[in-house]
Chains A and B, each alone.
Chain A
Amino acid sequence: MTQRGTLEIRGVEKHYDVDGRPLKILDHIDIDVAAGEFVSIVGPSGCGKSTILRLVVGLDDDYAGSIRLDGEPIKGTSLDRGIVFQDHRLLPWLTLEQNIGLSLENSRLSAEEKRRTIAEHIALVGLRGFEKVYPYQLSGGMAQRAAIARGLVNRPEILLLDEPLGALDALTRLRLQEELLSIWRIEKTTMILVTHDVDEAIYLSDRVLVMTANPGRIVKEIVVDLPHQRDRGSPTFAAIKRDILREMGDYAVHVAAA
């Protein structure tokens, strides 16, 4: 069954050349994401989780294996696949509105439709009133919301989130997690979130994929079968968290000792 926004990653491997010798970065990655699903990938830094997103978005096509979106092999970058980076990457010389509009530069919408959908997405991320503001005038949380709006404005089939909340303070982070959830419910976009924050992954996702490093591979898949709003303090939540941390290896000792 192929519905819009179905991602299929099969046997993906990736190597870097280090001093002339190939270093394996990704080892046989298989991931299936259903349309409209929210999947998180967690793992220690250097495990290649962000690399997977770079491959899926099309910034790097030097890999073995296959990546298909809705059954079609991906080729280069495309407006069907949006991404939000950890640094907001808003262009400093464009206003918030123009930054979001940059996503629609090559869309087939009419000028009027562009204007409307930009306004809708600015409202969606709660930034109405800040259309003409330059990025330096935005707080970190606001800039990241703008980046999310830019990722969504073209209505991609899949939105890749590369630690989008990683650089934010704890409170802003919690609040933006709520917003991500409500945006996901409204837009029904397939989402893949890469994070090293296990709580964040459990709180947001239908499924969590756990990776380890050297070489990067997926060691465990955990289905989070909890209704939203999830209670971060509940025993089930804690049990899932313990499972994930144990899989991530390094943490196992501390978890066992605790």
Chain B
Amino acid sequence: MTDATNSTFAVRRPLAGARTPSPVRAARRPAGRRYIGIILPLGLLIVWSLATWLAWVPAVFLPSPLATVKAFVAMVTRQSLHQDFLRSINIVSQAFVYGSVAAVVLGVAAGLSANVERFFGPTFDSIRHIPGVAWLPLIVLWLGLGAPAQILVIGKSVFFPVFLNTLQGIRNVEKSHIELAKVLTLTRSQLIRRVVIPSAVPSIMVSLRYAAGVAWALVVTAEGLSGQEGLGYLIFRAQNLLITDQLIVCMVIIGLVGFAIDRLMLLLQRFVLRWKQGFEG
């Protein structure tokens, strides 16, 4: 390397760590503390076991952990639970992709043009205050029970947070960066591609992570109210038939998948925003 590595000009961090951000982050978090998050779930599991074992709660309301695992195995082997699971994942993925792509495209357009924002503003601000559940009956009347109606309702709930954050992100571009683009004689399209959109990416990423969680949570409502398949449908069916163990199996799966989605989005966020110092979401 050059003389630039001399003390006065030394990089603040070792370059090896800088290029691959994960070792730096791992080093900041001692290995032992990483597992601190497991204590609470384990504690809850113990309380759950005690509650059923000592019969604090009737088994029909709260089956034991073991009974729940058995129900899980039965559901996989005899009721093809995996198909309902994949079905839910499929619905949510489609809704998430359609909703967020539309939101980013329209958000960028509205962020760049005050007229586009004025055009959509009143309509969007009214629609977004009508919850997805309230839309469902009408949409089901139009599209019938099943996937399209569910995708539309979930997609709507993905759209608004992402749209609003994209718009805000575009508007928050630094004035000094615009000035720089002017000095470098960038054209409007270069300015948008190289300066404006990248400055909106952090807030877009935050909203995508949030929206992914919302979408997954909504699948229960959407499938429960308008369908014959999927995890959401299974939950409502289990409630009606008082098969509590199956109900809990579905809840645990939904929770774990939601957790996995959130962590995946966090990893994606860290990768996309690797240029941002200390960005933890």
Contact = CB atoms under 8 A, between A and B. Distances in A.
Interface stretch (B67-75, B155-163, B269-277): B269-277
Nearest to B182: A77
Contact of B176 (A85, A127, A137, A145): A85
B2 A136 contact: no
A79 B186 CA distance: 10
Interface string A85-107: 10101011110000000110110
Interface string B170-191: 0000001101101111110010
Interface stretch (B4-12, B28-36, B231-239, B244-252): B4-12
A21 interface: no
Contact of B185 (A78, A126, A130, A132): A78
Interface residues of A, number: 39
Contacts of B19: 132
Contact of A102 (B11, B179, B184, B277): B184
B207 to A, nearest CB: 18
Given A93-B201, A136-B275, A138-B11, A105 B194 contact: yes
B4 A91 contact: no
A126 B3 contact: yes
Given A93-B275, A126-B4, A137 B185 contact: no
Q: Is chain A's binding surface mostly helix, strand, loop or mixed?
A: loop
Contact of A141 (B8, B177, B187): B8
Contacts of A93: 198-199, 201, 275-276
Interface string B6-26: 001111110100110000000
Contacts of A220: none
A94 B194 CA distance: 9
Interface residues of B, number: 34
Nearest to B1: A129
Interface in B101-136: none
B195 interface: yes
A142 B18 CA distance: 15
B4 A57 contact: no
A92 B4 contact: no
Interface in A49-95: 57-59, 77-79, 82-83, 85, 87, 89, 91-94
A200 to B, nearest CB: 17
A57 B183 CA distance: 7
Given A93-B198, A137-B11, A138-B11, A128 B1 contact: yes
Which 7 pairs, one residue from A and one from B, show the smallest C-beta to C-beta distance? A136-B277, A129-B1, A93-B198, A134-B275, A137-B18, A126-B4, A128-B2
Given A77-B183, A83-B183, A141-B9, 4 more contacts: A77-B184, A91-B198, A133-B18, A138-B11
7 contacts: A77-B185, A93-B276, A94-B198, A94-B275, A102-B186, A126-B9, A137-B12
Interface of B: 1-5, 8-13, 15, 18-19, 176-177, 179-180, 182-187, 190, 194-195, 198-199, 201, 274-277
Interface of A: 57-59, 77-79, 82-83, 85, 87, 89, 91-94, 102-103, 105-106, 123, 126-130, 132-139, 141-142, 145, 171-172, 175
